[in-house]
Amino acid sequence: MNQSERRYTFRKRKSRNLAKEGKKIDYKDVDLLSQFITERKKIMPRRTTGLNAKEQRKIAQAIKRARFMALLPYTVLH
């Protein structure tokens, strides 16, 4: 029991607020969006990005739009 509890203790989350940093979320801003995709070009989960729920939804929507416009890839195999 003690070992399983130790495995699931998490380190303190880093939180990030894009509105406070003064950045607007736009699907054309590839430099900003590329911070939120993994090496395999998947969208990072919220526990990794540290964003709040509203911004996480906006970032996900912007990444999907950028993928449609061929600014970001869907997968690494292209």
Partner 1 sequence: MAIKPNIYETLYLIRPDIGTEKFTALQEKLNKTIAANQGEIKKNEKWEERNLAYPINKYNKGSYHILIYEALPTVVSDLEKLFNLNKSDVLRFMTTLNEEEEQPQVKKETSQDSTEDHTISVFQSAVNVQNEPVKSENTNENTETVIGGND
Between the CA atoms of 27, 30, 35 and 41, what dihedral angle is there, to the nearest 10 degrees?
90
Taking residue 51's Cβ as centre, other Cβ atoms within 10 Å add up to: 20
Cβ-based nearer residue to partner 1, 53 or 70: 70
**What does the alpha-carbon distance between residue 48 and residue 69 come to, in Å, rounded to a whole number?**
25
Give the distance, in angstroms, between the CA of residue 27 and the centroid of all CA atoms in the same chain.
13
- Residues 52-71, mask of contacts with partner 1 (x by CB under 8 A): -------------x-xxxxx
Interacting residue with partner 1 among 13, 28, 42, 64 (CB under 8 A) = 28
Is 78 a binding residue for partner 1 by CB under 8 A? The answer is: yes
**Residue 31 CB, nearest distance to partner 1 (Å)?**
13
Interacting residue with partner 1 among 13, 35, 54, 74 (CB under 8 A) = 74
